[in-house]
Amino acid sequence: MEELRARGYSGRITLVGAEERPPYDRPPLSKKVLTDGVDPSLRADFAALDVDFRPGETAVGLAAPQSALVTNHDKYSFDRLVLAMGATPIALPGPGPQRFLRTLDDALALRALFRPGLRLAVVGAGWIGAELATAASTAGCLVTVVEAAPAPLVAALGAEAGSHTAPWYQRAGVELRTGTAVEAVQEGGLTLAGGAWLPAEEVVTAIGVRPAVRWLADSGVTLDNGVAVDPGLRTSLPGVYAAGDCAAFESVRFGKRLRVEHWDTALHAPEVVAANILGGSEVYDPVPYFWSEQFGRMLQYAGHHTAADRFIWRGDPQADSWTACWLSTGGRLTGVLTVNRPRDLVQGRRVIAAAAEVDITRLPDPAVQLKDCALPGDGPSRLTGSLVGSQRQVWRSAPRPTGSPFSGRVCDGEIRT
């Protein structure tokens, strides 16, 4: 919405959102909201933006001939529609109560529960599980993290990099049980695969999310692990766009469809949507970026690697600051994970953006700047060309954005011209 207004759009905009609250940032939910109770609200001035905001209203379908949005309260005709429903947490089987951490209400409820001695089971040692365990152990809870994979963060990073985060749990007083699948959530604890019992006063399930697209099943919008969009973030229906966690976009850079569940994508993809709604032909094809704060460390990742990519350490992974790199078979950097090494992240993102091959004899040496590992021929000019945008994004991404009400984000919304 803000991006449309900033680009001169003066038509009507309606924003429909299932939550009763005005928009807020989610990254603080598992961090400062839990630890310090900070308010993550975005300063949304709907009157100044001339936006008709409809909180507590859920989209349930598109009416034929697909130019009206049907909600649980109303029906809106539109000329352009932006789908940005995000994602919803996956639940575990079982009759017992389980909590999630997706919304501000979830976070506030968890914060109110935290107390020294609370026996808390967190299922899933992914990004959210690790951050939740960090906050809960800081509050004095007795935290057990149960993870089916052999190490934390395996889905995102693979076992080799993920396993080097495991000692952080122990040092923080958190019990980490890897290779342990949960069979069911019960009253008072968890039944583990094989029948073992883990008692817990509270259970938080953090095993991943699914794009919130079920309501679009018969809408004519093509779904493929989310809303399938082209590089300009257009769906299969004319005039309908999608962005953020719910959108799977065609990445020319990585040669596949990507659905990126990270804040940087939710921040920047709407810029492309707004430009294209207004007649542009922009493409969204970033080097994906995210960060995570766990057990006193800042983790940052840029790129998109596959399990087949070659893995190389920079620095000592037993230490408190290191970098993990992934390389394609052609020797190009495809992904970089940094722990307390922000310079490597910035330089790595540039090298990935430039599709540069790297010198693997120099890459493992943390004393050599990562940008200096890019082989000549792939070219300093290519690196320089991609520098400005990516660096700005990287440094803007760690803290929350400041200044503008929505920071360029379009949430669930309908636009009528």
Ligand X SMILES: Cc1cc2nc3c(=O)[nH]c(=O)nc-3n(C[C@H](O)[C@H](O)[C@H](O)COP(=O)(O)OP(=O)(O)OC[C@H]3O[C@@H](n4cnc5c(N)ncnc54)[C@H](O)[C@@H]3O)c2cc1C
Query: Could you say whether residue 119 binds ligand X (CB under 6 A)?
Result: no
CB 203 within 8 A of CB 190: yes
d(CA 146, CA 247): 30
Site residues for ligand X, 244-273, by CB under 6 A, read 244-245, 261-264, 266
Contact 23, 409 (CB under 8 A): yes
How many of the other CB atoms lie within 10 Å of CB of 341?
22
CA 97 from chain centre, in angstroms, equals 26
44 binds ligand X (CB under 6 A): no
Query: What are the distances in angstroms from CA 41 to CA 33, 89, 266?
Result: 11, 21, 16
User: Is residue 292 involved in binding ligand X (CB under 6 A)?
Assistant: yes
With beta carbons less than 8 A apart as the criterion, state whether 89 and 205 touch. Answer: yes
Q: Which residues contact 388 (CB under 8 A, 6 or more apart)?
A: none
Q: At closest approach, how far in Å is the CB of 4 from ligand X?
A: 15
Residue 59 as a binder of ligand X (CB under 6 A): the answer is yes
To ligand X, the closest distance from the beta carbon of 224 in angstroms equals 17
Mask: binding to ligand X, 226-245, rule CB under 6 A, as x and -? Answer: ------------------xx
* 125 scored as a contact of ligand X (CB under 6 A): no
Question: With respect to ligand X, which residue has the nearer C-beta, 337 or 356?
Answer: 337
Closer residue to ligand X, CB minimum distance, 266 or 358: 266
Cβ distance to ligand X smaller for residue 17 or 348: 17
Q: Are 92 and 182 in contact (CB under 8 A)?
A: yes
Strand pairing report for 12-17 and 51-55 = parallel
Indicate the residue among 26 and 164 with the shorter CB distance to ligand X: 26
List beta partners, residue 82.
Answer: 241, 413
Q: Which residues contact 194 (CB under 8 A, 6 or more apart)?
A: none
Residues 5, 6, 19, 68: which binds ligand X (CB under 6 A)? 19
> Taking contact as CB under 6 A, which single stretch among the options 80-88, 329-337, 338-346, 365-373 is the one that binds ligand X?
80-88
Q: Interface with ligand X includes 27 (CB under 6 A)?
A: yes
Position among 1, 2, 30, 414 found at the interface with ligand X (CB under 6 A): 30
| Chosen residue from 13, 15, 29, 228 binding ligand X by CB under 6 A | 29
